[in-house]
């Protein structure tokens, strides 16, 4: 890993959007989390040991903590994905809901769906992407924060929460 650190230092001066990543570390952390050995959230800068580890597992996780997470702040995998989706591809996240007051779907699940859409997507385009009938019967949208009506041509913004009003 010392050569990795040196290579990273050289490359980051040459490329402005360089993201160091250790996919092997990310896989190890996710597998350990899936086995309930650790608490780990992808992209985090650390993890918490919660299960009984054998010596080999403990050494491997400490190696990742000291040589990847502490040096680079994360495994870099989630950072690379986020950068690609949000900066390069220009996607945004939107949250359609059925109940504006509870921010839930028809079953009462709170903010159950997050959709990635291209920046510049209109509300009507989004409605059609959900279902052709919703797009064809579209009336308007309602912003969950302001309770204002949104037109068909309203361009969705990152983190918008809204209800689509349509004829039945």
Judge if 79 and 95 occupy the same domain: no
Give the model's pLDDT for residue 1: 64
Q: Contact 47/36 with Cβ under 8 angstroms?
A: no
> Domain total for the chain?
2
3-state SS track over the chain: CHHHHHHHHHHHHHCCCCCCCCHHHHHHHHHHHHCCCEECCCCCCCCEECCCCCHHHHHHHHHHHHHHHHHHCCCCHHHHHHHHHHHHCCEEEEEECCECCCCECCCCCECCCCEEEECCCEHHHHHHHHCHHHHHCEEEEEECCCCCEECCCCECCCCEEEEEEECC
Judge if 120 and 58 occupy the same domain: no
Domain containing residue 107: CATH number:
3.10.20.30
Judge if 130 and 115 occupy the same domain: yes
Q: Contact 19/79 with Cβ under 8 angstroms?
A: yes
Judge if 63 and 121 occupy the same domain: no
Judge if 94 and 80 occupy the same domain: no
In terms of Cα–Cα distance, which of 148, 147, 144, 149 is closest to 160? Answer: 144
Whole-prediction pTM = 0.82
Give the model's pLDDT for residue 103: 95
Give the model's pLDDT for residue 6: 85
Give the model's pLDDT for residue 9: 86
Q: Per residue of the chain (168 residues), what is the pLDDT tens digit?
A: 678 788 888 898 899 889 999 999 999 999 999 999 999 999 999 999 998 999 999 999 999 999 999 999 999 999 999 999 999 999 999 999 999 999 999 999 999 999 999 999 999 999 999 999 999 999 999 999 999 999 999 999 999 999 999 998
């Amino acid at each position: 890993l010392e050569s990795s650190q040196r290579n990273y230092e050289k490359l980051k001066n040459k490329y402005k959007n360089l993201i160091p990543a250790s996919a092997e570390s990310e896989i190890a952390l996710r597998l350990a989390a899936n086995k309930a050995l650790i608490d780990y959230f992808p992209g985090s800068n650390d993890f918490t040991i919660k299960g009984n580890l054998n010596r080999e597992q403990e050494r491997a996780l400490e190696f990742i903590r000291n040589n990847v997470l502490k040096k680079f702040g994360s495994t870099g995998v989630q950072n690379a994905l986020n950068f690609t989706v949000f900066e390069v591809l220009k996607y945004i996240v939107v949250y359609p809901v059925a109940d504006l007051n509870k921010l839930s779907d028809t079953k009462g699940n709170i903010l159950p769906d997050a959709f990635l859409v291209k920046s510049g997507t209109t509300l009507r385009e989004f409605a059609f992407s959900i279902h052709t009938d919703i797009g064809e019967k579209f009336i308007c949208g309602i912003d969950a924060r302001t309770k204002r009506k949104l037109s068909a041509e309203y361009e969705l913004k990152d983190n918008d929460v809204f209800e689509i009003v349509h004829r039945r």
